[in-house]
Amino acid sequence: MNRLTLKYAYPITAVILLVFAWVIYRRLAGGLHALIPLAVAAIVVWVLSTIAFIYLWPRITVGGFKRAILRRGFGAGPVPVNTLYAVADRPSDAASTSVMGTGTDDLIYLGGWLDVAGTPRVLHVPEMSGRYYGVQFTDPTSGSNFAYVGKRTTGTASGDFVLCKLGWSGHVPAGMTRIDVPHGSALVVGRVFCTDEGDRPSAYSLAKQIQLSPLAG
């Protein structure tokens, strides 16, 4: 639905404006006083629509990614909850088959849907030896990124991060870092830089090592 809306944004906008112009024309035919109810209705609709857009749009957008990931994945079939899948193909080559078919070709993309409502999960990242990488966590309620793991925030050494819901009172093992997931679930998108086509296999191998697992104990 989102893709169709974006694809036909201009025709849809043109139709809406034409309908609006026709309504105004008909109202003007009845005199200026007939515009007052229309103006009041337009203001009410504008305010309510703005509130609804702010509240619903993040849920619709991130929810669309969730459905795409869990139902058809990134070109090789559905990706189960709490599983990260790395896309070997270049984004430009995967544009027609993968929800990750966007972005730049000097990155390996990975993604999945995180759910820690029941059990905390551990995100493991391998030693990156200075290579750029990043893993972002997007809240399905607000659409904002609430946490990052990667070169710019946590460095490139190997590490483990405990992902848990707010209020979880369990024990975080030594050497691990806790990350609270505000609403118990999140869209996870990762990127690993590759210098050229010759470096792509190495970058892909590292991306596949970025994985989620249940917290032991």
Do 192 and 203 touch, CB atoms closer than 8 A? yes
The answer to the question of residue 66 being in a domain is yes
The answer to the question of residue 65 being in a domain is yes
The answer to the question of residue 11 being in a domain is no
The answer to the question of residue 97 being in a domain is yes
pLDDT at 195 over 70: yes
CATH number of the domain within which 167 lies: 2.60.40.1610
Average of pLDDT values for 47-57? 69
The answer to the question of residue 74 being in a domain is yes
Confidence of residue 13 (pLDDT cuts 50, 70, 90): confident
Amino acid present at 30:
G
So what's the pLDDT on residue 11?
78
Its domain, for residue 179, covers: 31-217
Integer CA distances (angstroms), 134 to 82, 92, 125, 151, in order: 18, 20, 10, 6
So what's the pLDDT on residue 164?
97
Q: 33 versus 204: which is more confidently predicted?
A: 204
**Dist CA 161 CA 147 (whole Å):** 11
Which residue from 151, 148, 170 is spatially nearest to 214, judged by alpha carbons?
Answer: 170
Average of pLDDT values for 174-189? 95
Do 180 and 121 touch, CB atoms closer than 8 A? no
pLDDT at 161 over 90: yes
- The structure's pTM equals 0.73
Average of pLDDT values for 56-73? 80
So what's the pLDDT on residue 190?
95
The DSSP element (H or E) to which 115 belongs, if any, is: strand 107-115
Confidence of residue 1 (pLDDT cuts 50, 70, 90): very low
Pair type for strands 185-193 and 107-115: antiparallel
What percentage of residues in the chain have a pLDDT greater than 90? Answer: 50
The answer to the question of residue 6 being in a domain is no
Average of pLDDT values for 18-43? 69
The answer to the question of residue 4 being in a domain is no
pLDDT, tens only, 94-153:
554 555 555 677 899 999 999 999 899 999 999 999 999 999 999 998 888 999 999 999
Structurally, how many domains does the chain consist of? 1
The answer to the question of residue 192 being in a domain is yes
